[in-house]
Structure 1
């Protein structure tokens, strides 16, 4: 299990764009499970939508991408979070995306990602998001870990 303090050592994201609250399972080179608690206090609900708050699909994809970044980073560098200061994860493609069920305040959005293929610093990941046991969104993500100073 990885709590938010450790997540913040790996990911550069901060409020309001840090979208992973906790990692519940991580098997390097294979898979990750993490989650974000969706609350009515999210800034995004001021405009999406004021009368019927729905958590945007783009935020679901970003949350899956952040979980994938944690998986890739830990797979390559283990617990050496000092490396994170010099690295950045770029997403190259987002394919086969589907949004199946609206996500609303009070939901616990669970991200489950698995490695489809990994070669060098390129990661191809299958990503799904669940609320309880219901699949709410899915995508295939391709990302690259690069040196931050090259960006």
Structure 2
């Protein structure tokens, strides 16, 4: 298991500000799992509109953060870095549950494990935690395609 800083993450993900949602990889075991983190700052561009009186991270962005962690895991497992001619897409999201709001100041821990991989289609079990408490869980399916 090894860690990755933001410079290495940027080699794997095409996302950039304001849509890069993985700040650090705490541990990664290629072919198995990843634990990454997203520091949720009051300076996030979505907070002024979601919601001005009570800033809450949108659930779809928590799912996106989990998918970005899954992409790092998959690309690292395959030994590939991000290529300009390919994109990593969602193909399915099942069993999504939001258990608790994520607010400014939280550190979102992203835990993703590979359940299976068949013909370029990857299925993952994903969960996000804050302070060791489950905030979101889902089954994700993704694939990469040439553009």
CA contact 1:121–1:146 (8 Å) conserved in 2: no
**Greater per-residue helix proportion:** 1
Aligned residue number for residue 134 of structure 2: 135
Aligned residue number for residue 63 of structure 1: 65
Q: Which runs of 5+ in 1 are unaligned?
A: none
1:34 aligns with 2:36: yes
> TM-score, normalized by length of structure 2?
0.94
> TM-score, normalized by length of structure 1?
0.92
Deviation track 1:31-87 (CA, whole Å, cap 9, x = no partner) reads 00000000100010010000100111011000000000001101111xx53x53443
Question: Cα RMSD between the aligned structures?
Answer: 1.1
Q: Which runs of 5+ in 2 are unaligned?
A: none
Deviation track 1:79-125 (CA, whole Å, cap 9, x = no partner) reads x53x5344321110011000000100010000000111112321000
Aligned residue number for residue 124 of structure 2: 125
Deviation track 1:110-146 (CA, whole Å, cap 9, x = no partner) reads 0000111112321000000000110000110000122
State the alpha-carbon separation in 2 of the partners of residues 76 and 116 from structure 1. 15
Secondary structure of 1:40's partner? coil
Q: How does 1:89-128 map to 2 (within 5 A)?
A: 89-128=88-127
State the alpha-carbon separation in 2 of the partners of residues 131 and 4 from structure 1. 20
Runs in 1 of length 4+ with deviation above 2 angstroms? 83-87
